[in-house]
Amino acid sequence: MRVLTKAEEQIMQVIWQKEKCLVRDIAEALDMTIPQTTISSVVRILERKGFVGHKAYGKTYEYFPLVDRQDFTKSSIKNWINKYFEGSPKQLVSFLVTEDELKLEELDALRKQLEGVKKKKAKK
């Protein structure tokens, strides 16, 4: 999956949240002073990249996501782990523990979650 710039991802977050929206809806949601023409340009780039589609109502376009948010998140996290942790989720968790970003209680909850996943897979 292609990567997005910070501005593209920010706009995609709004489109995912709203599911269908106009450029003015995106501008309002961002609550920023970015001109609608700039937002419109970014949305067209997202469309060319295959992230967004549109439905035309005369000169007004309603935009909607073509890429699922969860699929994008999954791909982005995998890319990030590959880039910074040699593709090892274990190294990521180790880093979080070492940096005191992940508490023992959270690790225990993750362990229980993993055990649940393991049980589900064993039943298949």
Q: Which contiguous run of DSSP H or E holds residue 57?
A: strand 52-57
> Each residue of 59-104: pLDDT tens digit?
999 999 999 999 999 999 999 999 999 999 999 988 988 888 888 8
Minimum mean pLDDT among 4-13, 17-26, 58-67, 96-105: which range?
96-105
Secondary structure (3-state) at 65? strand
Nearest C-alpha neighbor of 19 from the set 66, 60, 58, 57:
66
Give residue 44's pLDDT band: very low, low, confident or very high (50, 70, 90): very high
All residues at 6 or more sequence positions from 75 whose CB lies less than 8 Å from its CB, including other chains: 1
Q: What residues does 63 pair with on adjacent strands?
A: 21, 54
18 neighbors 25 (Cβ within 8 angstroms): yes
Nearest C-alpha neighbor of 85 from the set 68, 67, 104, 99:
99
Which residues form the domain of 109?
Answer: 69-123
Question: CATH number of the domain that 51 lies in?
Answer: 1.10.10.10
Question: CATH number of the domain that 75 lies in?
Answer: 1.10.4040
1 within a domain of the structure (yes/no): no
